[in-house]
């Protein structure tokens, strides 16, 4: 998401890995025409906590989601996290 003109440093690699893992769990809702890829906030935390590749503490998972939301990788609608660019490969 961060482009060449973005003055912020890139996200740490572990957070990018969290994003890729969450994208792989995001589903396409059958009742929508716009093919939004989303995951429930609580499910996202569970995915990050139970994935053996990460070994994250709950605070780490919350921090990763916060950073991904702040940087625009996801946007939040209610309790749902939606992939900002669903047509891109995560």
List, for residues 10-61, the tens digit of each pLDDT value.
Answer: 899 999 999 999 998 887 555 454 567 899 999 999 999 998 887 899 999 9
Overall domain count for the chain: 1
User: Quick one: average pLDDT of 64-89?
Assistant: 89
Report pLDDT for 9.
81
| Within a domain: 18 | yes
Beta strand segments in the chain, E: 27-28, 37-40, 74-77, 80-83
| Within a domain: 89 | no
| Within a domain: 20 | yes
**Entry pTM:** 0.80
80 close to 40: Cβ distance less than 8 angstroms: yes
The sheet with strand 37-40 has its strands ordered as 27-28, 37-40, 80-83, 74-77
**Which one is predicted more confidently, 79 or 34?**
79
| Within a domain: 55 | yes
Identify the domain containing residue 44 by its residue range: 13-26+40-83
| Within a domain: 71 | yes
C-beta neighbour count of 20 within 10 angstroms: 11
């Amino acid at each position: 998401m961060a482009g060449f003109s973005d003055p912020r440093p890139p996200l740490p690699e572990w957070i990018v890995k969290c994003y890729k893992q969450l994208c792989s769990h995001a589903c396409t809702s059958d009742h929508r025409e716009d093919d939004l890829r989303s995951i429930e906030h609580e499910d996202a935390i569970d995915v990050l906590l139970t994935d053996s590749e990460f070994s994250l503490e709950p605070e780490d998972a919350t921090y990763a989601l916060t950073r991904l939301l702040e940087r625009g990788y996801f946007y939040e609608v209610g309790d749902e996290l939606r992939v900002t660019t669903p047509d891109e490969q995560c």
